[in-house]
Chains A and B, each alone.
Chain A
């Protein structure tokens, strides 16, 4: 050890120095208190041997200053004194001394005391280096958390949650939320809202939710069906996450155009549909395993469909809400939640306040997420495509064109028709051609309408009058599902080409099915303006969006021309 010896008597100092050197220590010396402070700060010794009686600053005072100087580190100091009084002994310890030695100094006792001090010094050094390491770790951890949070916040875009039909809250239990809430509109203006709750909470749970939001947004924007999205989410989670990490998940889809809602719940608490008084009209229980448990080929998605119920609201939440625990060990529970719903204007705030009152100063131990989805009496989303009236020519034969830029065609047999989500698939392929992106929404609507007609009325021979009447759409979809499963033959041919006529370019889509067609003679009628659009926007929409609509043969073949030349005013 490096030891500082302080004594105003040169002879004592020499003696002490000799003894210490004999024991193998490195010695530095000082002959008074002031010197001692100076030498100490220059040499940083491990231990100080300090004579008590010195002229000027005595040993006690010097010791005190040394300790103040070195704080927060503690300097081991052994006092040396001829006076073996109780008072000195106490004062020595009070001035921050570690031990006391009495003159004449005995070499063995000196060595023993130095050894025992050395143990303390070693411990202090270990503690110090561990503390430093811990501090570095904490700082690194904080930096990484900052970055992680930034990434998560930017990956989980929340713009969709500002939709006027949604009100929501997310309260993470920790810095990161293991709950995820996203919402988006499809090209046909359906509203999709997803709630996911990953196992556990904190960073590990938040990582589990990462594959969800990206997949959800991209598939909703491309117009995939709820079931296709759910199946893909399961595949992504199962592939990315280790066994035991799963995500309870649910999606609510509202289609104001077709007047129905579709709900899927895999592992979340029951969702409720309530009327304007807060009375429950429908419940949606968890019917499936959460995401990430079964492999893609084992996972079949089943969803529930209800008719559009104007003025109703669907309430969905993660278990963190009903399992929020008060100081007395009570759970917030379903009853309390359903009791907060009588005022439809203010439900979110009412629930938030009730939860705060219930919890008092307790914090929820799990992430709390809640979303309310409106089915308003009137669609307030500002879907303005209907205003886009243009003069449509109803012709009896397909008009000529000057030249062809490109042409693609698809032939879809029975098994493809049954298995695929047709519209997003074909739009996805056409989207690879330059110049179509900005028309994506309108093209989606046109393609969806034409393909639905070809499939529903052509191949499946469903009569659209089935859609009339209350609750009819549910029945229509059920009937459609059954006929689709039973379908044994038929096919749909689709051709899309980009053409030019007099320097104007347009997209021509021809769809032909193997069904019976329909009588299109009466079709060449002006649009009835005052008649409300009840179920489906139907072919009227196509007429609004395309400059040419031609039916041919027995009505099983339709060609439309969509203008690409004029600037798109609504995108």
Chain B
């Protein structure tokens, strides 16, 4: 998976593309950690280019959320593909994340 980051003021966007699975663990964690260290207030995950999402990706989202919650950073999941929406819906992650 590739991640491109853009930051405007205190809002950051992580543009994810490719397969979001266990192999993305390192790059995903390092990227969000940098943004959290830079005290981003809102981090938007741009999901339109994600063509696969598995349960380990959901696990990574939970870890991300735990870290973000500790410093009150908001997370949104934007432009989810139908597949991503389905996976998130089965796990009922809409109860934890803002998803659009």
**Interface positions of A (Cβ within 8 A of B):** 197, 199-200, 243-246, 248, 266-269, 286-290, 293, 319, 366
Contact = CB atoms under 8 A, between A and B. Distances in A.
Interface stretch (B1-9, B38-46, B88-96): B88-96
Given A287-B92, A288-B92, A289-B96, 16 more contacts: A200-B22, A200-B59, A243-B66, A246-B58, A248-B91, A267-B90, A267-B91, A268-B90, A286-B90, A289-B91, A289-B92, A289-B93, A289-B95, A290-B91, A319-B55, A319-B90
Nearest to B25: A244
Interface string B79-100: 0000000000111110110000
Contacts of B62: 243-244, 246, 293
A266 B93 CA distance: 11
A243 B59 CA distance: 7
Contacts of A293: 62, 96
Identify whether the interface residues of A are mostly helix, strand, loop, or mixed. Answer: loop
B77 interface: no
Contacts of B31: none
Contacts of A289: 91-93, 95-96
B3 to A, nearest CB: 18
B91 A199 contact: no
A429 to B, nearest CB: 36
B95 A199 contact: no
A243 B90 CA distance: 19
A243 B92 contact: no
Interface string B38-66: 00000000000000001110111011001
B63 A243 contact: yes
A268 B55 CA distance: 11
16 contacts: A199-B56, A200-B22, A200-B59, A244-B59, A244-B62, A245-B59, A246-B59, A248-B55, A248-B90, A248-B91, A266-B92, A286-B90, A286-B91, A293-B96, A319-B90, A366-B54
Interface residues of B, number: 17
A246 B62 CA distance: 9
Contacts, number: 48
A260 B86 CA distance: 30
A293 B66 CA distance: 10
Interface string B6-28: 00000000000000001000000
A286 B56 CA distance: 18
Contacts of A286: 89-92
A319 B57 CA distance: 15
Contacts of A288: 92
A200 B55 contact: yes
A287 to B, nearest CB: 7
Nearest to A267: B91
A197 B59 CA distance: 13
B59 A267 contact: no
Nearest to B94: A289
Nearest to B62: A244
Contacts of A266: 92
Contacts of B63: 243-244
B81 to A, nearest CB: 15
B56 A267 contact: no
Contacts of B89: 286
A510 to B, nearest CB: 45
Contacts of A245: 59
Contacts of A290: 91-92
B90 A269 contact: yes
Contacts of B55: 197, 199-200, 246, 248, 319
Nearest to A366: B54
A244 to B, nearest CB: 4
Nearest to A298: B95
Contacts of B60: 244
A285 to B, nearest CB: 8
B92 A267 contact: yes
Contacts of B91: 248, 267, 286, 289-290
A243 B66 CA distance: 8
Contacts of B92: 266-267, 286-290
Contacts of A319: 55, 90
A329 to B, nearest CB: 11
A290 B93 CA distance: 9
B9 to A, nearest CB: 29
A290 B95 CA distance: 11
A243 B56 CA distance: 11
A245 B59 CA distance: 6
A347 B50 CA distance: 35
Residue of A199, A246, A267, A319 with highest tally of chain B CB at under 10 A: A199
Nearest to A293: B62
A199 B58 contact: yes
A400 B81 CA distance: 74
A58 to B, nearest CB: 57
A200 B95 contact: no
